[in-house]
Amino acid sequence: MERVFQGRSLIIRPGLIVGPYDFTDRFSYWINRIAIGGEVLAPGRRDKRIQFIDVRDLAEWIIRMVESKANGIYNATGPETGLTMEEFLNTCKETIGNKVDLVWVEEKFLLGHEVDGWTDMPLWIPDSMNMPGFLTVNIQKAMDAGLNFRPLAKTIRDTLDWEASRTVTERKAGLDPDKEKAVLKDWNEKGL
């Protein structure tokens, strides 16, 4: 498309889009799970990088880009600095204010118990899948063009407020609670 419309095309490549009214449950799984409290299975490495963008930040930026007649190709995800799974889950804990014990379970153990990345554990892609750039996209060009981000705690809080209007049966993604308990029990019994 850029070859055909040289200098007249705006191509936005967003990452995972999250926030209120996101029915995919890839982001809200964690918010709902932290809200329940107790022992929460946390997948793989604590320092595993993740990326996503609040739909409101993305929409506001795209509108500004269109109004200014910007062109080019932009990766649009967030946040502006590297975010790890541990930082994300701790921000969920702090924002929601629930008593939670994050239990970090090694990738090999999870895969051995048929816990799938991304579907059972949203935002987690096992290292063994060899997808090193998937959640570590360079967004500097978009930030230089004005892409900015609301605080993560606001996205979490607003998503939690919206989630309160949904029933448990409407939620699709994430690890089955009984399976989570079984995996955690096995992990704890093995003393790993």
Confidence band (pLDDT; 50, 70, 90) for 110?
very high
29 and 122 Cβ atoms separated by less than 8 Å = yes
Prediction pTM value: 0.91
Decide: helix, strand or coil at residue 57: helix
CA 147 – CA 138 distance, rounded (Å): 13
Tokens representing 135 are 């959640």
What pLDDT is recorded for position 4? 56
| Closest to 122 in 3D by CA, of 42, 20, 36, 38 | 42
Amino acid letter at 28? Answer: S
Read off the pLDDT of residues 54-90 as tens digits, 9 standing for 90 and up. 999 999 999 999 999 999 999 999 998 889 999 999 9
How many of the other CB atoms lie within 10 Å of CB of 122?
A: 23
